[in-house]
Amino acid sequence: MSKSSQLFPVPQSFGQKAQINKASYEELYRESVTDPEGFWGKQAEELLLWKKPWSKVLTWDFKTPTIRWFEGGKINLSENCLDRHLASRADKAAIIWEGNEPGETRTVTYRELHAQVCKTAALLRSLGVKKGDRVAIYLPMIPEAAVAMLACARIGAIHTVVFAGFSAEALRDRINDCGCSLLITANEGLRGPKAIPLKETCNEAVAECPTIKKVLVVRRTDAATPMEPTRDLWYHEALAKLPADADGRAESMDSEDPLFILYTSGSTGKPKGVLHTTAGYLLHVTLTHRAVFDIKEDDVYMCAADVGWVTGHSYVVYGPLSNGATTVIFESLPTYPDAGRYWDVVDRHSVTIFYTAPTAIRALVKEGDAWVKKYDRSSLRLLGTVGEPINPDAWLWYHAVVGDSRCPIVDTWWQTETGGVLISPLPGATATKPGSATLPLFGVQPVLVDDDGKEIVGNGVSGRLCMKFPWPGMMRTVYGDHERFRQTYFSMYPGLYFTGDGCRRDEDGYYWITGRVDDVLNVAGHRLGTAEVESAIVRSGLVAEAAVVGIPHEIKGQGIGAFCVLRENVAKDAATTKGILHTVREVISPIAAPDAIWFVSGLPKTRSGKIMRRILRKVGEGEFESVGDVSTLADPAVVSEIVATVKGAPLLQK
């Protein structure tokens, strides 16, 4: 039997105590697809606190496209995450923060978090931020990041969190795309041995952001931080000046009022602003967090993702807090100060549920088992992964070494666009297979289609993954560009939402995500568009034309290979490589820096001038003998040059 078809049954001891077992999953799933409105209406009533009930559960069509959940309802997300827990959980830890240095920790109870969010909400109001205004958040992984998000939600402002590893330019473009009036940042961030000058980056960005009126600065370090007196405010000072009766009330929001915008990469153009709304999103993350992680009252739950990504939104902040759970916010790196850091954190905070990305697991596999074994880890009962396909070897290591063959693994498939998990095992219900995200969650109706959009039925088949019915957490539009929303997700296969992923459904009906079938790269779990990286490379002024492909990478899963045609009189040397890397880091972020740069004299193009990416992908993957038909190329000779160049060049960084 091959490794990947090994079946791991639900451990008996886990299954007995789990909230959902196989029979209840099957029954609930059946109900959720035969009577979606009945199912979701019941969940919304049981799981959320409403200010006013809805009049209609769902209105939808995938043509225009229109998706509305719980219309007529009034709700506030921050009340659901905070106020409603005060009666029974006021002194329970809402957040356990583990800072950059081991042992630098802070615990924030529900009472304290509620008070802090109310004050911050009042502060935002006093700065003129109103319902519907956009607020940019550019913060490290500190409790204030969650506070800022919740404070926006409390007053109905729409937040857009920008990953604090993004460059000034990337930050500027996001702020300008949605016209933010306020930016919340920190003076510095700390990541392992490095201090990140966040405020400086903000100064650079905001210089070209006409809509920004104020910059609120959290003091994370003692570093000297020049402030622009008319624009910048220290967060702690502004809070201290707030009158005692300042208005931190929770705004009454419509179910479909926007909650946040999160920028993500697509196959074309600039990153798009994925817009999520209030009630449906909240219901989706509440239910999935509860079911997928089998959340119990005394769990200490840790998701190692950054709030700059959707996983941080849904499964560090909103899902856990809505469920009244204790969520760990981790500021540091898995390998700082050494490769035992995660397990040190697990032991010190008695973490019971641990959720991370395959790229982190692969990096730790390489460091050896001793770093894991050094720690006790007996508090752990459940492990999770997200962000990219997990290779069976990494899965088996995670299971045997980290989880001592005792903890189930939930491999959760979803996207920025889906808001929350759509395909995943339920740990008390689903036998797992290493590398498979297994089965759809409640209400999720996946279909596989062939290239022509015809549904492929039955098991033991492969195709492109689509969804034929909406779920409450799905995105509602691309901010400011509804037509792009329609084009990107609903035009390829009319009547269906297209995920961009390839997928196999095996003999048991289990789903295996095989990766993107469009021009989106998934580098160490981060999404990047090839077009985005290519235009950054050209911005160096050294390159006339570039084509970027995903290449196999031991740790990142996918790395970036860049074929570059240099401009006249530019030398094919290390200085040019350096110049290109520098530009990409500045224009996007270090995460977008290519792992290989190949200088070539031309790209393989059809006679009509279209780059044949298929060929470049094959060569990048090292499949030199099987590049396929090159007869339609304008100049077939470029292929042999490209092959020779790639053969001779190692990766820039491991």
Binding site for ligand WTA (CB under 6 A): 264, 309-311, 386-389, 411-416, 437, 499-501, 513, 515-516, 522, 527
> What is the three-class DSSP state of 102?
coil
Q: How many angstroms separate the CA atoms of 179 and 170, rounded?
A: 14
Tell me the closest approach of the beta carbon of residue 382 to ligand WTA, in angstroms. 15
**Nearest distance from C-beta of residue 191 to ligand WTA, angstroms:** 20
> Shortest Cβ distance from residue 396 to ligand WTA (Å)?
16
Choice between 100 and 424, CB closer to ligand WTA = 424
First to last CA, the chain: 32
Nearer to ligand WTA, 308 or 428 (CB): 308
Tokens of 225: 């931080």
Rg of the chain, C-alpha, whole Å: 24
Q: How many CB atoms lie within 10 A of CB 555?
A: 16
Q: What is the DSSP code string of 390-430?
A: PPHHHHHHIIIIISTTTS-EEEEB--GGGSS--B---TTT-
In whole angstroms, the minimum distance from the beta carbon of 524 to ligand WTA comes to 11
| Residue number with CB closer to ligand WTA (389 or 434) | 389
Q: Which is nearer to ligand WTA, 70 or 510 (CB)?
A: 510
**Residue-level length of the chain:** 654
Q: Measured from the CB of residue 226, what is the shortest distance to ligand WTA in angstroms?
A: 35
Cβ-based nearer residue to ligand WTA, 265 or 332:
265
Nearer to ligand WTA, 330 or 512 (CB): 512
* Nearby residues of 438 by Cβ (< 8 Å), 6 or more positions away: 411, 423, 424, 425, 430, 432, 510, 511
Minimum Å distance from CB 342 to ligand WTA? 19
Instruction: Provide, rounded to whole angstroms, the least separation between the CB of residue 314 and ligand WTA.
Output: 8
In Å, what is the CA distance from 50 to each residue of 43, 59, 90, 252, 254? 12, 19, 20, 10, 10
Rounded distance, CA 572 to CA 601, Å?
11
Is the CB of 343 or the CB of 414 nearer to ligand WTA?
A: 414
Structure tokens belonging to residue 609: 């001038």
For residue 268, what is the DSSP state? Answer: S
- Residue 526 CB, nearest distance to ligand WTA (Å)? 7
Contact between residue 437 and residue 411 where contact means Cβ atoms under 8 Å apart: yes
Is the separation of the CB atoms in 357 and 394 below 8 Å?
Answer: no
Nearer to ligand WTA, 469 or 512 (CB): 512
**Are 646 and 625 a contacting pair, CB within 8 Å?**
no
Comparing CB distances to ligand WTA, the nearer of 303 and 597 is: 303
Closest CB 278 distance from ligand WTA, rounded Å: 20
- What residue number has its CB nearest to ligand WTA? 416
Burial (Cβ within 10 Å: 0-12, 13-18, ≥19) of residue 54: buried
